[in-house]
Structure 1
Amino acid sequence: MTDKGGKNVVAKPKPSKKPPSKVVKSVQMDLFSQFLANDVSEVSNTVEYWERIPKYFISTQEQDKLRTAEGLAKPYEHEYKLKDKEGRELTYKVDIQPALIKEENGKYKAFFPTRTEESIEEVLKKIFTEQNHGIHDPKNIESWVRFSYGMIRRELYRMGNGLRYDQIKRSLEVMSKCILTVYEDGKEIYTGAILQDYCSVDREKYLEDTDALHITRLPVFISHAVNTLQYRQFNYLRFMECKEQLTRFLYKRLVNRYIHANYMNDYHFMYSDIQQASGLLRQKTERDNRKKVLSALEELKEKKVILSYKTDERKEGRMITDVKYTITAHPEFVTEQKAANKRTSMQQIEAQKSGVVVDK
């Protein structure tokens, strides 16, 4: 990131906050933690306002190319476009300042958040909903989660994604030390880490007990969503089992946009929209990028999210300028969306009964 004079500027995180000394009871936290599903271990919450910020799109291979010979790296800038509820297109930019992690040789190395950190974030959001592990302060709009390396590791193994304790430790460092700065139409709207005010146990205590609890503050986007009920139930197990990152992106997009999925209506989206919003179509050619979209759609069929899809290529002469994808929902996805809708309606009623004012 640079200032007006073109000089590099390091984004500075805000002063650290201390976690609450005791549990704060709130209706909002209770509602966020209650799910409508046969097996609550399979579901979690998606927070679209936070998750639509591209942050995990840099691959491990690309990360290596961004580093200098000394292992350092400059902040990475990525521009993208999103449409608001009225369909107006807004221009965004995210600057990702990498985390500098001290290696065993005493030298520092730059790390950008990747798919591994994305998985750990999802695990932490799930742990946040479990009894005695999540704290939400509605007055100060703060959400804290208590967790251990062991809890994260066991959950990842349950999803078939095993990591060693040292890998989990590294990822948590990356998430707490990299800084995101988000701009909307040129104006800065957010600066902060993925995990804020991360308090880890010391090495000696960790060696004694890998289940020793750490605590961290979740981003304000998530805290605001808990306060205002702006989140949605989704199949967390299915999401974590998706092999391709683009599949994960499309799945959450369908959860949040294809709300009234049924057997009679379909849903469509454009290739250009996915290219702008996801940051994940980074192949050498547009042809390869389009193949990547088809691969993700095939995985969505395999995971019983969609039943079928059709493509409609838009051309200028012989050149493909865009593609329209039209999908129909799988019965399992329809059932899950109906459950998510019912849960949302029940929460709205409960919030009104409890006197919770839900400001959008």
Structure 2
Amino acid sequence: MKKPPKDPIKSLQLDLFSQFVTNDLSQVSNTVELWERIPKYFFTAKQVEKLRTIDGLAKPYKWTYTENGHEYSVSIQPALVEQKNGGYKAYFPGVTEELIEEALKKIFSDQQYAIHDPEKIESWVKFTLGMLQKELKIRGRTRDLDQIKHAIEVMSKCNITLSKNNKEIWNGNILQDLVTVGRNEYLASTDTHHIARLPLFISHSINNLDYRQFNYDRLMSCNEQLTRWIYKRLINRFTQASPITEYSCMYSDIKQTSGLLQQTREIDNRRKILSAFNELQQKGIIQCLQIDERKAGRTITDVKYTIKAAPQFISEQIASNKRATDTKIIAQKSSIRIIKKT
């Protein structure tokens, strides 16, 4: 277990990560595609219940997918959380953990609660349970303290293994090296500061300026989990959004890379995607949607979705592009070494 630095570390990379092109800092945060493209929050309560044995335990769950011509697999070992009767129960990360991660990244963007060591490639976030509860409430995603405590425990105890082309490339927790006070104090206190190390993917992206500014408030206002997933995909991939440009994606790609389409009938999965796109339109992210069904006979084999961006989203992407350009100029002048992605 690594220990957090005792003293603050001056880091230009962290300074740049915390600077945004916006008139309202409370509305924006950073999305780190290198980390967020790993499917990990696709578990529902019903699914987890089915994965558990009669004594409440569960084996690791493996999800495989193809992206950019490479075969990936993510194996998620559930967190074993002690129950009041002294036994243990298995939990996989889900919606609450997803929302808390977003809140923690927002808190991390405030340098008062962040430590980044560019040499060791380590990033630490300081937080209290009260801070998380307040942040979630502000964004309309209220959780009580017990739910937040439970989610933090799941995030720090579940283990994720990512493999690429049958070769393991990373193994760790969503929140690593969580440092807390004694358990009784921890469970009773909302104001005690805790600190945890963020995954290497995030630290690496901070060092390499590989992240994008986005409207965090709008993301948190989205009700459907798939809506949030598609929104992030658009932020990272529809970077040249304009009144005349379009973005297309396939049903098959969304299904395997998100992990969020696990209905028994394909028609129900397609309805779920349509519902997500409708919410994206309601939230001022997309202007319109075209659907092109691919068929073999009367059977739908795939669907192509083509969207045009709404004016608000276009403005936000322009601001994000300007921020990225400004950041790179500062980095070049400061001789920050960028490691190319592979």
What TM-score do you get using the length of structure 2 for normalisation?
0.98
2:121 is aligned with 1:121: no
- Cα drift, residue 202 of structure 1: 2.4
Q: Which amino acid aligns with 2:156?
A: S
Give 1:318 shift.
0.4
CA 1:196–1:206 in structure 2 vs 1: closer, same or farther (change >3 Å)?
closer
After TM superposition, the runs of 4+ consecutive aligned structure 1 residues lying more than 3 A away are 203-209
Q: Judging changes above 3 Å, is the alpha-carbon distance between structure 1 residues 208 and 110 closer, same or farther for their aligned structure 2 residues?
A: closer
Assess, with a 3 A threshold, how the Cα gap between structure 1 residues 207 and 251 changes in structure 2: closer, same or farther: closer
CA positional deviation for 1:178: 0.4
2:302 matched to which residue of 1? 322
**1:271 pairs with 2:254:** no
One-letter amino acid of the structure 2 residue matched with residue 331 of structure 1? P
User: Cα–Cα, structure 1 residues 202 and 128, in superposed 2: closer, same or farther, change >3 Å?
Assistant: same
The reply to whether residue 173 of structure 1 matches residue 158 of structure 2 is no
Offset of residue 276 of structure 1? 1.4
Residues 330-345 of structure 1 aligned to structure 2 (within 5 Å): 330-345=310-325
1:141 paired residue number: 121
Among 261, 265, 286, the residue aligned to 1:285: 265
Letter in 2 for 1:34: Q
User: Shift in Å at residue 205 of structure 1?
Assistant: 4.2
Q: Distance in 2 between matches of 1:257 and 1:18?
A: 36
TM-superposed CA distance for 1:165, in Å, is: 1.2
Structure 1: how far apart are the matches of 2:246 and 2:19? 29
Distance 1:129 1:333 in 2: 21
Instruction: Measure, in 2, the Cα distance between the counterparts of 1:31 and 1:350.
Output: 9
The alignment status of 1:28 with 2:8, answered yes or no, reads no
Query: Which whole-Å deviations, capped at 9, do the CAs of 1:43-95 have from their partners, x for residues lacking one?
Result: 11101011010000011111111111111000001111111xxxxx1111111
What does 1:205-244 align with in structure 2 at a 5 Å threshold?
205-206=185-186, 209-244=189-224
Code of the aligned partner of 2:293 = E
Secondary structure in structure 1 of the residue aligned to 2:252: helix
Match of residue 10 from structure 1: none
Query: Please, which of 56, 62, 71 is the counterpart of residue 71 of structure 1?
Result: 56
Partners of 2:14 and 2:111 within 8 A in 1: no
Structure 2: how far apart are the matches of 1:313 and 1:216? 46
**Inter-partner Cα distance in structure 2 for 1:166 and 1:235:** 28
Unaligned runs of 5+ in 2: none
What is the CA–CA distance in structure 1 between the aligned matches of 2:325 and 2:247, rounded to whole Å?
A: 23
Query: Which whole-Å CA distance do the structure 2 matches of 1:100 and 1:24 have between them?
Result: 34
Deviation, 1:160, is: 1.0
Q: Which amino acid aligns with 2:145?
A: Y
Q: Judge which range, 332-341 or 131-140, deviates more.
A: 131-140
Q: What TM-score do you get using the length of structure 1 for normalisation?
A: 0.93
1:145-165 residue CA offsets vs partner (Å, 9 max, x unmatched): 000000000000001111111
Percent identical: 56
Offset at residue 201 of structure 1 (A): 2.3
SS in 2 for 1:150: helix
Shift of 1:131: 2.8
Amino acid at match of 2:25: V
Provide Cα deviations, 1:188-214, integer angstroms capped at 9, x if missing partner: 011101110001122454477511100
1:58 equivalent in alignment to 2:36: no
The aligned residue for residue 256 of structure 1 is 236
Q: What SS does the corresponding residue of 1:132 show, helix, strand or coil?
A: helix
Partner SS, residue 142 of structure 2:
coil
Q: In structure 1, how many angstroms separate the alpha carbons of the residues matched to 2:177 and 2:60?
A: 21
Where do 5+ consecutive residues of structure 1 fail to align?
A: 1-15, 84-88
Partner of 2:175: 195
Over 3 Å counting, the alpha-carbon distance change for 1:273 and 1:38 in structure 2 is same
Q: Corresponding residue for 2:77? A: 97
Q: What is the RMSD computed on CA atoms of the aligned residues?
A: 1.0
Counterparts of 1:54 and 1:224 in 2: how far apart (Å)? 19
Quick one: structure 1 residues 169 and 207, their matched pair in 2 at CA, closer, same or farther if it must change by over 3 Å?
A: closer
